[in-house]
Amino acid sequence: MEKIDLSGEIKKIRARGAEVSSTTLVKTNTLRIVLMALRAGARLREHHADGRLSLQVLEGEIELTVENTKHQLSTGMLADLEARAPHGVAARSEAALLLTIAWPSSETEAEQAEAAAHRKTGYS
């Protein structure tokens, strides 16, 4: 287990002074977690991720365009997108985002079934 101080990491990447700055916090074969800081007015042009993703606004306000539809997101909001969904981001104010991308694992069907059974443990 690793603990990450998001507030401290945001300060570090903002100190770089770039319009858009990021750091990868977690990187495995099936999961990527990236912290991003955007200055007001900064844009990420339309692109896509090969895995399903979530985008959580930790600070500020952004406009998330997904498949040509604009969505306003502010502090505390989370969006989730299907794999390969075209999307872009525009910062309406200074913003900090937590991007999580997940890819399917290469487990066998038996390993997937065992993992699925385990995921139900402790939930009602």
- Tens-digit pLDDT profile for residues 90-112: 999 999 999 999 988 776 666 65
- Model's pTM, two decimal places? 0.84
If you average pLDDT over residues 109-121, what whole number do you get? 57
Q: Residue 30 above 50 pLDDT?
A: yes
**What is the rounded radius of gyration, in angstroms, for the C-alpha atoms of the chain?**
16
Q: Residue 67 above 50 pLDDT?
A: yes
The token pair at 35 is 């912290």
pLDDT of 105 reads 77
pLDDT of 124 reads 45
- Contacts (Cβ under 8 Å, ≥6 apart) of 1: none
Does 79 or 115 have the greater pLDDT score? 79
- Contacts (Cβ under 8 Å, ≥6 apart) of 34: 22, 23, 24, 25, 98, 99, 100, 101
* φ, ψ (nearest 5 deg) of residue 108: -75, 165
If you average pLDDT over residues 35-50, what whole number do you get? 96
What is d(CA 104, CA 87) in angstroms, rounded to the nearest whole number? 20
If you average pLDDT over residues 26-33, what whole number do you get? 94
